[in-house]
Amino acid sequence: MSDAVESINFFIDGEEYQARKGESVLEAALRNGVFIPHYCWHPGLSIAGNCRMCLVNIESGPMSNKPQIACNTFVSEGLRVDCSSEKTKTAREGVLEFLLANHPLDCPICDQAGECDLQQYSFDHGRSSSKFVEVKTQRPRKDLGPRIRFNGNRCIVCTRCVRFCNEVAGTGELTVVNRSDQSWIDVFPGYPLDNPLSGCTADLCPVGALLDTDWIHTTRVWLLRGTKSVCGGCSTGCNVSVDTFADEVKRVVPRENQAVNNWWMCDRGRELYKSARSETRLRACKVDGAPVTAVAALEKASELLAGVDRKKIGVLTTGHASCEELFLLDQLAGGPFGVGYQPEGQSFTALDGFEVSADKNPNRAGVAKILGEPDEGENLLDALEAGQIEVVIVHDATPGGTDWDPALVEALQGAEKVIAISHDDTWLAQSKAVAFPAAHWTEKDGTWVNRKGRIQRFRAAVSLPGDTRPELEILQELGRATGAVPRVVSAGGVFRRLAAAKPDAFGGVTYREIGYVGLPLAGAADQTPPEECTTYYAAGPHSRSMTPAKDEQTRLAVHRESPLGYGTLQGSI
Ligand code: SF4
Ligand code: SF4
Ligand code: FES
């Protein structure tokens, strides 16, 4: 605990703990690793105190021996809290019995099953039988907006979703209608739940009452494999879990990071994994527009580069390229270096400061740190027209392609020696260039620097399709042809070289230390250290409403043998 924060001693079940001044019993218990079940409380929302699930027995002070809700009882010096006596357990059982009275037992077909707080708490704290014999109430099932489906029978009216729309999105679409067992959540007529963060209401819902329509009846959650990564949709760099089944991305959900995205992400970011399946994706290597094997393409590209002076190699890349890719391109080529950016898009600032950036380039800040202030290809065009360039390497890692200057496109189409690494089957792959398919950001490892100067790692969640290789492999193999880049290593190995070559920007930073929550680089606008960027309010391991970032587990590195006869280490090491 930081020295600046006043600490208070208190007791849970006879054990002494430290709370921060002003903390509730629930917050202090969770931060100290003592789990108290809760539904309506969420660290990013105001206290509602309506679910009563967090009842504990306060054993000291004026409220002694009365069950109190832990989320709205604040720690005082010497407070004694009983979380596990028969009295507390009986109070929890009673609350669960009421919550389950009208709740359908449709877990087998509910998409929340497996990450449902009601299901888990029933298992942990509930009674195995119910005294309720009356007919359960029926409430509506409807789409509240384009992304969110409401199943009223499952709603426990915790109001997390209502408070999120009021207090975070600031759009206020949701409200509680009616009273008592007839109350549920609804939108105001004519005002659908369509704010840019609407998917967060499904993340927050502790039961299966709000579901993301993109995810409904897709995969059982216990079959998913989550990979801790970063969204490539804009320069905010939200921390996400890329959830996959059978080597296919099924959904992308936010991970808590207080230095970046709090607990949230935008709806657009949830959709971006689909660009990896785009019909326009380049899936095979090509030479002169005809498909060839990866080995043949590499041989041809190496031939083009053999013996060429570095100064006569020009480069075009984008604000989607990783720091490691930019570094290798910079090592490979010594001629003009142009960077194309995606045009500005929609921005949105939530009331708690979370921001969807208008800058849709996840690594604009990384470009500046590694390359300074490159232009968007003007110098390259001049050099091409002056006949000063022998080979151009075009690396377009942007899903959907980049809007290059038409004059530059025309010049490249006429150029004799172009090596393209392209995400999409654009004019580049159809021209006489030697073309390699580029990996989608869900298929490769690397780092981006977000708009606040925080370096973060994204990770391969699925295998590469077809003949696609990580750009790091292709660039290092091309580097061998020129002698500019030594042997093939992992993204972590390339980052180590980058940090050594650019000590002012990356010095002292190691790939491992970047970890799952990132690190502020020197001069970053937000210097929040890694240990502070998650609040440690771990929900149960079943819940995704507060996916904890702290449970760092080192995934074994996967060694993928490529048809080119070399391997690159992918994964967290
Ligand atoms: S829909 Fe979900 S989040 Fe909203 S009030 Fe009901 S249970 Fe709570
Ligand atoms: S705000 Fe940006 S980084 Fe975050 S989810 Fe949306 S597009 Fe992705
Ligand atoms: S979490 Fe405390 S009353 Fe709901």
Does some domain include residue 163?
no
Does some domain include residue 170?
no
Q: What is the C-alpha separation between 181 and 170, in angstroms, rounded?
A: 28
Ligand 1 contact via 163 beta carbon (within 6 Å): no
Ligand 2 contact via 231 beta carbon (within 6 Å): yes
| Gap from CA of 235 to ligand 2 centroid (Å) | 8
CB 20 within 8 A of CB 3: no
- DSSP per residue, 266-283: -HHHHHGGGGGG-TTB--
| Gap from CA of 144 to ligand 3 centroid (Å) | 25
The tokens for 324 are: 């490691």
Confidence band, pLDDT 50/70/90 cuts, at residue 564: very low
Which of 524, 544, 562 is the last residue before a domain boundary?
524
pLDDT of 460 over the 70 cut: yes
As to burial, measured by CB atoms within 10 angstroms (0-12 exposed, 13-18 middle, 19+ buried), residue 177 is middle
Does some domain include residue 340?
yes
How high does pLDDT run on average in the chain? 88
Could you count the other beta carbons within 10 Å of the beta carbon of residue 228? 23
Ligand 1 nearest atom to the CA of residue 162, by list position: 4
Half-sphere exposure of 215 (CA within 13 A, CB side): 30
How many distinct structural domains can be found in the chain?
Answer: 2
Ligand 2 contact via 236 beta carbon (within 6 Å): yes
Ligand 1 contact via 161 beta carbon (within 6 Å): yes
pLDDT of 77 over the 90 cut: yes
Residue nearest to atom 7 of ligand 2 (CA): 233
The residue with greater pLDDT, 392 or 549, is 392
Ligand 1 contact via 165 beta carbon (within 6 Å): no
pLDDT of 548 over the 50 cut: no
pLDDT of 539 over the 90 cut: no
Does some domain include residue 466?
yes
Task: Please give the pLDDT value at position 105.
Answer: 84
| Gap from CA of 19 to ligand 1 centroid (Å) | 30
Which of 481, 502, 524 is the last residue before a domain boundary?
524
Ligand 1 nearest atom to the CA of residue 40, by list position: 8
| Gap from CA of 367 to ligand 2 centroid (Å) | 19
pLDDT of 516 over the 50 cut: yes
Which of 491, 508, 524 is the last residue before a domain boundary?
524
Does some domain include residue 265?
no
Does some domain include residue 104?
no
| Gap from CA of 233 to ligand 2 centroid (Å) | 5
Does some domain include residue 149?
no
Query: Mean per-residue pLDDT for 437-455?
Result: 97
* CATH label of the domain that carries residue 296: 3.40.50.740
Q: What is the C-alpha separation between 97 and 118, in angstroms, rounded?
A: 11
Ligand 2 nearest atom to the CA of residue 348, by list position: 1
* CATH label of the domain that carries residue 72: 3.10.20.740
Structural domain harbouring 401? 280-524
| Gap from CA of 53 to ligand 3 centroid (Å) | 5
Confidence band, pLDDT 50/70/90 cuts, at residue 4: low
- Report helix, strand and coil shares of the chain as percent, to nearest 5: 30, 20, 50
| Gap from CA of 54 to ligand 3 centroid (Å) | 5
* Proportion of the chain above pLDDT 90, given as a percent: 69
Among 27, 30, 35, 39, residue to substitute to test ligand 3 (most atoms within 8 Å of Cβ): 39
| Gap from CA of 194 to ligand 1 centroid (Å) | 17
Query: Mean per-residue pLDDT for 113-121?
Result: 85
Ligand 1 contact via 210 beta carbon (within 6 Å): yes
Residue 215 — left, alpha, or beta (φ > 0 → left; ψ -120 to 50 → alpha)? alpha
Task: Please give the pLDDT value at position 530.
Answer: 80
Could you count the other beta carbons within 10 Å of the beta carbon of residue 190? 5
Q: Which ligand is nearest to the CA of 158?
A: 1
Task: Please give the pLDDT value at position 427.
Answer: 80
pLDDT of 542 over the 70 cut: no
Task: Please give the pLDDT value at position 571.
Answer: 36
| Gap from CA of 160 to ligand 1 centroid (Å) | 6
| Gap from CA of 356 to ligand 2 centroid (Å) | 6
Ligand 2 contact via 234 beta carbon (within 6 Å): yes
The residue with greater pLDDT, 484 or 138, is 138
The residue with greater pLDDT, 238 or 33, is 238
| Gap from CA of 269 to ligand 1 centroid (Å) | 23
pLDDT of 556 over the 50 cut: no
Confidence band, pLDDT 50/70/90 cuts, at residue 514: very high
Q: Which residues of 521-558 are buried (b: 16+ CB within 10 A; e: fewer)?
A: beebeeebebeebbbbbbbeebbbbbbbbeeeeeeeee
Q: Which ligand is nearest to the CA of 68?
A: 3
Least confident of 59-73, 88-102, 413-427, 558-572: 558-572
Query: Mean per-residue pLDDT for 171-197?
Result: 94
Confidence band, pLDDT 50/70/90 cuts, at residue 452: very high
Query: Of 149, 442, 142, 152, whose CA–CA distance to 270 is shortest?
Result: 442
| Strand spans (E) along 105-204 | 141-143, 148-151, 174-177, 184-187
Q: What is the C-alpha separation between 352 and 262, in angstroms, rounded?
A: 9
Helices (H), strands (E): how many in the chain? 16, 27
Among 27, 38, 98, 117, residue to substitute to test ligand 3 (most atoms within 8 Å of Cβ): 38
Query: Mean per-residue pLDDT for 8-34?
Result: 94
- Tens of pLDDT, residue by residue over 340-365, are 999 999 999 999 999 999 999 999 99
Highest averaged pLDDT of the listed ranges 162-166, 224-228, 472-476: 162-166
Ligand 2 nearest atom to the CA of residue 270, by list position: 5
Least confident of 94-108, 115-129, 256-270, 515-529: 115-129
Ligand 1 contact via 116 beta carbon (within 6 Å): no
Does some domain include residue 216?
no
Ligand 2 contact via 242 beta carbon (within 6 Å): no
Task: Please give the pLDDT value at position 565.
Answer: 34
- Tens of pLDDT, residue by residue over 11-23, are 999 999 999 999 9
Among 100, 111, 185, residue to substitute to test ligand 1 (most atoms within 8 Å of Cβ): 185
Ligand 1 contact via 160 beta carbon (within 6 Å): yes
Confidence band, pLDDT 50/70/90 cuts, at residue 551: very low
Report yes or no on whether pTM surpasses 0.95. Answer: no
